Chain A
Amino acid sequence: MIKTDVVIIGAGPTGLFCAHQLGIIGLKCEIVDNLDKIGGQCIELYPDKPIYDIPAVPECTGEELTKNLIKQIEPFSFNFHLNDRVQELSNNNSVWFVKTTSGKEFSTPNVVIAGGVGSFEPRKFPTKSAEKFDGKSVLYSIKDKTIFKDKSVAIFGGGDSALDWAIELSNTSKVSLIHRRDEFRGAHASVQKVKELSEKKIINLFTKYSIKDVKGNGSLEEVEIKSEEGESKTIKADYVLGFFGLIMQLGPIAEWGLNLDKKTIPVNTENFETNKKGIFAIGDICNYPGKLKLILSGFHEGALAARGCFKYARPNEKYRFEFTTASNTIKDRLGVK
């Protein structure tokens, strides 16, 4: 059991800056994120896209913003728990017990939910028959590529993941690549390579087709694809891979007894506390009159939520407002002279 002042759920820009504010006021925190890297949507959805509305930063990419936020909290040496998801929250005498999917446990007076629109999960095939093979021969990510050696693999999708895996696996497997249109959104070089491999009959390329059905007795045997005109084809397949990007699911957050408004959590605008004492929500996931889903709003929300956490983490101390320019205490915390 890890004891801390605050558990932050979500390592996106809002969660990171909230951690910074906690560090500034002398609190400790632990940060949990479902993704395998720090940065949230900034890193997962638009690492290379420029952002133009971070105050005093005319232009930066999602990746640059994340790097700077990580650098800004370095002095506090907070722990990150990546590739892990908060599953359960329970409460006993104003202490929250937080349990993650991997089995980590925290005890804390405060939880800050900075979860964006929930956790990222792969979009799955719409085909019902794919469900019974899910995780066995119908896959949405690759952990061990050796399982595909000398097998027939049908890959669906038109982005970099689909193209890269089609190219890579075509060395050792019989690969079919199926995409719903004849343009691909992946890198130009990969698209060229796939077309080249298709001309050499190394990859079977099917464009303007989508999945219709997967078939097999016990193990997967074939996948049926259809065109919009209704024409169908059957391809032999030991494995079917789908790369349709990630969708965001609220997931376990919906089970914690918080008031919800669609997929958002209503909060007060004084300290961004939810209907549960000691549970705060900031960033895209919170909702209040006038809410803007901007990173800059998330920074403000995080700063106020951090002060809200102080009250429960240090019930016998009075919070004193200080500027980073003037306070020696803060300079000590930052390790600057």
Chain B
Amino acid sequence: MAKIKYIEHNGKEHLIEVPNGLTVMEGAVQNDIPGIDADCGGGMSCATCHVYVKEEWHDKLPKKEMGEEDMLDQAYEPKSNSRLSCQIIISDDLDGLSVYMPEKQV
């Protein structure tokens, strides 16, 4: 279980307890948090669950798998701290993680 802070582009914050094993994307979708579309359902085949992660967290998260960076090329305004939230699996270690939504997904 980890408390994840989802921060919408307009600054609105949602603090959600997400069970271990789910992804950051699923935590958002299952709690109806706007800003994450996840069109492909978590298959790393679209770039519509794109989030930004603070630098200090970026290094603590599991590394990007092959393909995630390629997919991020196709996201809206990707930056070096961009991640696909479907690829971040929740564990106790992620307690306190904040993710920032881009202005839009598509």
Nearest-neighbour CB distance to chain B for A265, whole angstroms, equals 14
Q: Which residues of A contact B (CB under 8 A)?
A: 41, 45-46, 117, 123, 126, 157-159, 179-181, 183, 185, 210, 228, 244-245, 247-249, 262-263, 293
Say which size band chain B's interface belongs to. 10 to 19
| Contact flags B2-33 to A (C-beta < 8 A → 1, else 0) | 00000000000000000000000000000000
Asked if A228 contacts B45 (CB within 8 A), the reply is: no
> Can you list 12 contacts pairing A with B, beta carbon distance less than 8 Å?
A123-B76, A159-B70, A159-B74, A181-B73, A181-B80, A183-B69, A185-B73, A210-B78, A247-B46, A247-B47, A248-B39, A248-B106
**Complex partner residue of B39 from A126, A179, A183, A263, CB under 8 angstroms:** A263
- Are A157 and B103 touching (Cβ within 8 A)? no
Q: Looking at chain A's contact residues, is the secondary structure mostly helix, strand, loop, or mixed?
A: loop
- Identity of the chain A residue whose Cβ is nearest the Cβ of B105 in the assembled complex: A247
The 9 closest A-B pairs by CB, nearest first: A245-B74, A185-B70, A247-B106, A117-B39, A293-B41, A126-B77, A158-B73, A244-B74, A228-B80
Which of A158, A179, A228, A248 contacts B79, CB < 8 Å?
A228
The distance in angstroms between the C-alpha atoms of A263 and B40, with both chains bound, is: 11
Asked if A247 contacts B48 (CB within 8 A), the reply is yes
Q: Which residues of B contact A41 (CB under 8 A)?
A: 45
Roughly how many angstroms separate A117 CA and B47 CA in the complex, as a whole number?
13
Contact of B73 among A157, A249, A263 (CB under 8 A): A157
Please, which residues of chain A bring their CB within 8 A of the CB of B47?
245, 247
Task: Note all chain B residues with C-beta closer than 8 A to A228.
Answer: 79-80
Q: A283 → chain B, closest Cβ, in Å?
A: 12
A163 to chain B, nearest CB (A): 12
How far is it, in angstroms, between the C-alpha of A102 and the C-alpha of B55 when the chains are bound? 49
Closest to A211 in B: B77
A182 to chain B, nearest CB (A): 11
Contact partners of A181 in chain B: CB under 8 A? 69, 73, 80
Query: Within the assembled complex, what's the spacing in Å between the Cα atoms of A262 and B45?
Result: 19
In the complex with contacts A180-B78, A185-B73, A126-B103 CB distance below 8 A: yes
Contacts of A157 in B (CB 8 A): 73
| Extra 13 A-B pairs, beta carbons < 8 Å, given A185-B70, A244-B73, A247-B47 | A41-B45, A123-B106, A126-B76, A158-B73, A180-B78, A181-B73, A210-B78, A228-B80, A245-B47, A245-B73, A245-B74, A248-B106, A263-B39
